[in-house]
Amino acid sequence: MQSLEAFGVTERLCRFTHKFLTSNKLIGYYHGAIQSAKTDTTIIAFMLWAYINPDNYFAVGQTMGTLGRNILYGPRKLLEYVGVDAVHRDSMNNLYIQIGQSKVYCFGANDSKSMAKIRGGSFPGGGIFDEITLLNRDLVRHLIGRGARSKKAKIFMASNPEDPFHWCHQDFLEGNPDVMDEVFTLHDNPMNDQAYIDFLMRQYHGVWRDRLIYGKWVAAEGLVYASYRPADHEYTGEAPGCDYHIIGVDYGTVHPMVYIDIKKHQGAYYADREYFYDPDPKKGNFQKSDQQYADDFDEFVSPLPPQFRIFPDNNARSFKIALRQRKYKVRDVPDKMFRDPTARVRLMDSLIAQGLHYISKERCPMLCKNMMTYTWDQNKQKLGVTVPSKENDDAVNARDYGVTSDYTAPKIAQLR
């Protein structure tokens, strides 16, 4: 397809797009590896289609923010091609982009007002979905139903693979006669040289490599941290050094309270000591108050130098107050890392695979045990949701809060 090639789209992406646009299929689904030019190609193909087929279209993202970042603004995004002057609002204050004689109405799926507008709107030309695996199934079905009214409609969607039980796989990749799909790889993006491909290969292991590198819809089975091997990732004696300390906290009232002392050294994270208290009466333990836990925290951090960073889980509001009353500077876990355990796992697994995380075998026995017993939730998997189980996760969560917060947060030392 000559017009696509002019935008730097590779031959295989051009061939699939041309095949889709000249077919009677309603939906073109571009899925596969990260950085494989899937989204960029759907943007260009959608723009060209809307330009030569005047009508009303939709562009839907999880939020307006993600839609802006992934579809509208930036290099190889929609507004780079059509210009910011193409952005308008109609008499009802609906945001749309003018492409030739077509209007593309933009919506964030998490906005209740946008949802009402979507349900009351008319988009006979079709549209484009951003990160469709993160969208609401009923919303997607509703918009597809509206687009299906026109024989000329085309709907573009792209995503990375998820669990094979995910509704996107079930709805679009299991014999749907109205869908044309193709799996794309890192080699389909002309911007990827071999050094960058090799770099990405090193970042992922296990299920993440299968999904994000090889583009496979595979289930997460067995241990969450499949790349973790005690012989390779546990150490005895002292860590090789320490630039500063991080304390990760998993707050517990009826379940265990855990503190993990993590040494950061030359980009690597060494889980060096743990505090683990299980308030289980069957074990002869009583439930402690926040002040009692704060006393234990004082003792736990007493050997440390005066600069360290504290990341309790975001539900530990009363415990944070107790620590602040004792003049500790406490920071929140970044919202994305707190609410999405899969994001924490993906980052931690990448660090483990790169040789940037180790655990003291002698001083972190519960964390070592958790790493070998922390599994995926098989019941949630049947619903197409990839999340770890909530068993054997207390020490792991404390470690993950500390490491992922430090890795993603501004590098500002916290003073005790």
Q: What is the CATH number of the domain that holds 369?
A: 3.30.420.280
Q: Would you state the pLDDT for residue 1? A: 41
Q: Is residue 52 part of a domain?
A: yes
Q: Would you state the pLDDT for residue 193? A: 93
First-residue to last-residue Cα distance in the chain? 62
Q: Would you state the pLDDT for residue 226? A: 81
Residue 237 shares a structural domain with residue 171:
no
Q: What is the CATH number of the domain that holds 20?
A: 3.40.50.300
- Tell me the pLDDT of the chain averaged across its residues: 90
Residue 147 shares a structural domain with residue 240:
no
Residue 148 shares a structural domain with residue 25:
yes
Domain boundary among 191, 218, 241: 191
Residue 125 shares a structural domain with residue 78:
yes
The residue assigned the tokens 């292991």 is 205
Identify the H or E element spanning 89: strand 87-89
For 197-201, 322-326, 379-383, which range has the lowest pLDDT when averaged over its residues? 379-383
Domain boundary among 191, 217, 249: 191
Whether 410 shows a pLDDT value over 70: the answer reads no
Q: Is residue 221 part of a domain?
A: no
Q: Is residue 287 part of a domain?
A: yes
20: which 2 tokens? 């889709």
Q: Would you state the pLDDT for residue 284? A: 83
Whether 415 shows a pLDDT value over 60: the answer reads no
Q: In which domain, by residue range, is 351 found?
A: 230-408
Whether 231 shows a pLDDT value over 50: the answer reads yes
Residue 259 shares a structural domain with residue 397:
yes
Q: Would you state the pLDDT for residue 112? A: 61
pLDDT (average), residues 61-85: 87
Residue 370 shares a structural domain with residue 277:
yes
Q: Is residue 200 part of a domain?
A: no
For 48-57, 264-273, 334-343, 405-414, which range has the lowest pLDDT when averaged over its residues? 405-414
Q: Would you state the pLDDT for residue 416? A: 34
pLDDT in tens, 66-76: 898 889 888 77
Residue 185 shares a structural domain with residue 250:
no
> In Å, how far are 44, 184, 363, 384 from 217, measured between CA atoms?
26, 13, 39, 11
Residue 60 shares a structural domain with residue 158:
yes
Identify the H or E element spanning 402: helix 394-408
Residue 339 shares a structural domain with residue 399:
yes
Whether 251 shows a pLDDT value over 90: the answer reads yes
Spatial distance between the Cα atoms of 197 and 187, rounded to a whole number of angstroms: 8
Q: Is residue 88 part of a domain?
A: yes
pLDDT (average), residues 299-326: 94
Spatial distance between the Cα atoms of 78 and 44, rounded to a whole number of angstroms: 7
For 113-122, 261-270, 354-363, which range has the lowest pLDDT when averaged over its residues? 113-122
Whether 414 shows a pLDDT value over 60: the answer reads no
Q: Where are the alpha helices (DSSP H) in 245-376?
A: 290-301, 317-325, 335-339, 341-353, 365-371
Q: Is residue 165 part of a domain?
A: yes
* Burial of 106 (C-beta count, 10 Å sphere; 0-12/13-18/19+): buried
With a pLDDT cut of 90, the percent of the chain lying above it is: 63
Whether 80 shows a pLDDT value over 90: the answer reads no
257: which 2 tokens? 């309270």
Residue 179 shares a structural domain with residue 48:
yes
Whether 374 shows a pLDDT value over 50: the answer reads yes
Residue 156 shares a structural domain with residue 18:
yes
With a pLDDT cut of 70, the percent of the chain lying above it is: 96
Q: Is residue 354 part of a domain?
A: yes
pLDDT in tens, 92-147: 888 899 999 999 999 988 766 666 777 777 899 999 999 999 998 988 998 898 77
Angle formed at CA 58 by CA 55 and CA 64, multiple of 5 degrees: 145
For 115-119, 219-223, 315-319, 391-395, which range has the lowest pLDDT when averaged over its residues? 115-119
Helix, coil or strand: residue 261: strand
Q: Would you state the pLDDT for residue 213? A: 93
Higher pLDDT pick, 211 / 381? 211
pLDDT (average), residues 287-316: 94
Helix, coil or strand: residue 170: helix
At 411, the pLDDT band (50, 70, 90 cuts) reads very low
Q: Is residue 375 part of a domain?
A: yes
Q: Would you state the pLDDT for residue 113? A: 65
Contact status, residue 10 vs residue 189, Cβ threshold 8 Å: yes
- Number of domains the chain is built from: 2
Phi, psi dihedrals of residue 342, rounded to the nearest 5°: -65, -35
Residue 356 shares a structural domain with residue 238:
yes
Whether 318 shows a pLDDT value over 90: the answer reads yes
Domain boundary among 191, 214, 241: 191
Q: Would you state the pLDDT for residue 114? A: 64
